[in-house]
Structure 1
Amino acid sequence: MTDTIRLRLEISYDGAAFAGWAVQPGQRTVAGVLAEALHRILGDPGAETPLGLTVAGRTDAGVHATGQVCHIDLPAGRYAELAGSLLRRLGGLMPGDARVKAIIPVPDTFDARFSATFRRYEYRVCDDPWGPDPLRRHDTLGWPRPLDLDRLNAAAIGLLGEHDFAAYCKRKEHATTIRAINKLDWRRDPDRTLVATVQADAFCQAMVRSLVGAMIAVGEGRRGPEWPATLLTLRERSNQVTVAGAHGLTLVAVGYPAADEYASRADATRRLRA
């Protein structure tokens, strides 16, 4: 068996022109363009994916990332040949809307998905009457009515902690919808943009955008601050919640424990998800 080395890749992308992270036949995806660039460098252009390509969070179509993480396994000898040039070569082959920012050798116990301790997202909303700044239109949702920051934060409080978020998720067969949110708040930046920060151990599909949609209903006064939390009693997706647009959402960070805890964290996550 060929000796391999595991590499942690840190990635940013503008999700506007991607059909999400995961490889899909006939679709332009982040994993697809990354795989194509890697195989061109490795001299294996016919392969569909690089060895062991595993991502921390499979972002949906239109969602962006500044702090995405994935790992790959490369033959150790081939990596030794490429180590000094791999990052630069990827910079020359990747499209302008996706960048590999760092490549770090890690122990083979590191798992980009299961070793992660948290994922942190930000959602940007502009409620100015003239709409988002033209240079931020691809990562900021324009909202036509004023939003109250205090009401948004009051709505967020009831969603903190571990709950069954079935009302806010696209349920998958044999998968749990129980998640633990340890950070959820809103701020208004100097440019007046409202930014929601949401951090949890993991997220279900469309969960963050559904939470944002529910909190916006509170922020504009259509619902009371306690309403988003009342939906946590439901065991099916709620048709009362509007899912906020994908383009306002960005994965900004993924957290990991110390290197000697990679394996134990991955084992614990696998048991939890089962």
Structure 2
Amino acid sequence: MSDEVEAGLVRVRMDLSYDGTAFSGWAKQAGGRRTVQGEVEDALRTVTRSGERTYELTVAGRTDAGVHARGQVAHVDLPAQVWEAHREKLLKRLAGRLPRDVRVWALREAPAGFDARFAAVWRRYVYRVTDHPGGADPLLRHHVLWHDWPLDVAAMDAAAKPLIGEHDFAAYAKRREGATTIREILDFGVRRTAGGIVEIEVRADAFCHNQVRSMVGALLFVGDGHRGVEWPRKVLDARVRDSAVHVVRPHGLTLEEVGYPADELLAARSLAARNRRTLPGA
């Protein structure tokens, strides 16, 4: 597959954020469900006066229903004449057309070889939890999970560290036909903020479906004393789903940031990311 943009089109990078509470995820779905992709594509079609034509977005990370994004990245290929006619006012026009739970912050012509999905070298997520006995702050209830047991943050952080590196995360993933479950976690840690919120932060080259929420579920079991610090790694090494690992609710999860290589490395990264991965010696 080539990352070359078709003649007459311009690839535009889009940086955006959204509150996922009222969305059925990023990707368009049958049945008229409300999605982030659907809202942005509809707004783009309207403000560019493109009639029935839809300009399809490619996104860095396809978030599930209820998951939020602060630093999502997408790209769209627009006819050169459409981009030239609207580029100066497109951002402001989208702000006037989009619903208030999704915002586009930047639009710019992408460098050669850029692909929002395949050129990304990492995605950084944060899952937020409160263990306050009174529950979650009402103003944060759509973004913070309430866990009704006290959490040992040091134990959770210690349990997260052995998951760093390249592994087969089949034990923490919802399997998809023909897809690999090998991923590389670059950073994984747990902290408590000054306001008392427990933040579980993980950065990886990519994630399997439900992987982050499953790993968070395992760490919560460690934090509240139901499992030992070594347990999440034992689950990983077993490479099979453990019924004790719960997929936590989506609303605590936010895609915070997506990283890309230098412009001259974009094309090579896009090509490499499409190769099916195996572990050394497999």
User: What TM-score do the two structures reach when normalised by structure 1?
Assistant: 0.96
* From 1, 8, 22, the counterpart of 2:13: 8
Superposition map of 1:104-253 within 5 A: 104-253=108-257
State the secondary structure of the residue aligned to 2:39.
helix
Task: Quote the offset at 1:45 in angstroms.
Answer: 4.2
Counterpart-to-counterpart distance in 1, 2:246 and 2:219: 10
Q: Secondary structure at the match of 2:163?
A: coil
Partner Cα separation in structure 2 for residue 251 and residue 242 of structure 1: 20
Per-residue CA deviation, residues 171-228 of structure 1 (Å, 9 max, x unaligned), is 1111100111010001110100000110000000110000000000000000000000
Question: 1:75, 1:121 → 2: CA distance?
Answer: 33
Residues 133-166 of structure 1: CA deviation (Å, up to 9, x unaligned):
1111110001111000111111101211111110
| Residues 125 and 142, structure 1, Cα contact 8 Å, conserved in 2 | yes
- Alpha-carbon distance between aligned partners in 2 of 1:56 and 1:213, rounded to the nearest angstrom: 24
Q: Distance in 2 between matches of 1:214 and 1:148?
A: 13
**Aligned 1:8-157 pairs, distance under 5 A:** 8-25=13-30, 26-47=32-53, 49-51=54-56, 53-157=57-161
Does the CA contact (< 8 Å) of 2:167 and 2:182 recur in 1? yes
Q: 2: distance between equivalents of 1:273 and 1:198?
A: 20
DSSP-derived class of the 1:158 partner: helix
Which moved further from structure 2: 229-238 or 121-130? 229-238
The code of the aligned residue for 1:134 comes to P
Instruction: Give the CA deviation at 1:2.
Output: 5.3
Name the amino acid aligned to 2:71: G
Which moved further from structure 2: 53-62 or 231-240?
231-240
- How many residues get paired? 272
Distance 2:227 2:7 in 1: 59
Q: Which runs of 5+ in 1 are unaligned?
A: none
> Shift of residue 107 of structure 1?
2.2
Secondary structure of 1:150 counterpart: helix
AA matched with 1:216: L
Kept in 2: contact 1:56–1:70 (CA 8 A): yes
Alpha-carbon distance, 1:44 to partner: 2.9
Contact 2:191 2:200 in 1 (8 A): yes
Q: What TM-score, normalized to structure 2? A: 0.94
One-letter identity of the residue aligned with 1:197: E
| One-letter amino acid matched to 2:252 | G
The alpha-carbon deviation at position 271 of structure 1 amounts to 1.3
**Paired residue type of 1:34:** V
Deviation at 1:238, TM superposition (A): 2.3
Distance 1:273-1:84 versus aligned 2 partners, 3 A rule = farther
% same residue = 51
Task: Determine if contact 1:11/1:99 at 8 Å carries over to the other structure.
Answer: yes
Deviation at 1:36, TM superposition (A): 0.4
Q: Distance in 2 between matches of 1:110 and 1:254?
A: 13
Q: Which range is displaced more, 21-30 or 229-238?
A: 229-238
